[in-house]
Amino acid sequence: MELGSTTSLSFGSNLNSQGSKEELKAVAEQFEAIFVEQLLKAARQSTLADGLFDNEEVETYRDMLDKEYAKSIATNTSLGIASAIEAKFSHFIEKE
């Protein structure tokens, strides 16, 4: 599974800041987007035959489109992954 092409998760090291809960929510949504992107990529690779327009340019475009679909799905649809991450890690922020 290749994760090098995805956006890196950015969670600040200063957990005492006012915006740390918002940061956690943003990182959880980013993780959910990466997960959805990997699902879409696996679905694209499961084709049974070569298409008429299969070339490197179309593949690059599909990768970019899948990344945008994943961001949109993670932001607008609740799969439960982001909320589970928030629930699991929010107590670390509250203790600080």
Segment 43-63, tens digit of pLDDT: 888 876 677 777 888 889 989
Q: Which residues contact 9 (CB under 8 A, 6 or more apart)?
A: 27, 30, 31, 34
pLDDT, residue 34, reads 93
> Looking at the 3D structure of the chain, how many domains does it have?
1
CB atoms within 10 A of CB 36: 21
Q: What is the pTM of this model?
A: 0.68
Residue ranges making up the domain that contains 69: 20-46+53-95
Predicted confidence at residue 11, as pLDDT, reads: 52
Chain segment 72-81, per-residue pLDDT in tens: 988 888 889 9
Query: What does the DSSP 8-state code read for residue 66?
Result: H
Within-domain flag for 10? no
Return the higher-pLDDT residue of 19 and 59.
Answer: 59
Is 7 part of any domain?
Answer: no
